[in-house]
Amino acid sequence: MPAVDKDMLARWIGEVARLHGRITGPLTYIFCDDEKIIEVNRQFLQHDYYTDIITFDYSRGRMISGDMFISLDTVATNAEKVGATYDNELLRVIIHGVLHLCGINDKGPGEREIMESHENQALALLASME
């Protein structure tokens, strides 16, 4: 289980949502391993690959809400691949799910770069809040 400052994360997530014209509702993070994430990916999305996060969106109107499964194994692997710290990569993935709930996608042409820009802005915001 990652050591996270839940109060700081809640304030940060709330501020990121606010900056995207949203308010936060119930958000659940399920931290798991690669075997659980692929099981969820296969069962609910019919995808047969590992991923760092799967976001189930229950948002209504301006209120974001959802369940987010995060594979800590994949977070660690990705951190190593990109030369980031584990903690920083975990924060990036946490806010990635929130940004999806705010309506930002990353699968279409040019969308990955837009998502990364929003992630970087959110991480800079967190650094300024600490």
- Please report whether residue 23 resides in a domain: yes
- Please report whether residue 44 resides in a domain: yes
State both tokens at 37.
Answer: 């994430």
Tens-place pLDDT, residues 117-130? 999 999 999 999 97
Tens-place pLDDT, residues 35-87? 999 999 999 999 999 999 999 999 999 999 999 999 999 999 999 999 999 99
Give residue 3's pLDDT: 76
Say yes or no to pLDDT of 109 above 70. yes
- Please report whether residue 79 resides in a domain: yes
pTM: 0.94
- Please report whether residue 58 resides in a domain: yes
Tally of domains within the chain: 1
User: Could you say which DSSP state residue 25 is in?
Assistant: E
- Please report whether residue 1 resides in a domain: no
Q: Which residues span the domain enclosing 96? A: 6-129
Rg (alpha carbons) of the chain, rounded to whole number: 14
What CATH number should be reported for the domain holding residue 62? 3.40.390.30
Are 11 and 129 within 8 A, CB to CB?
Answer: yes
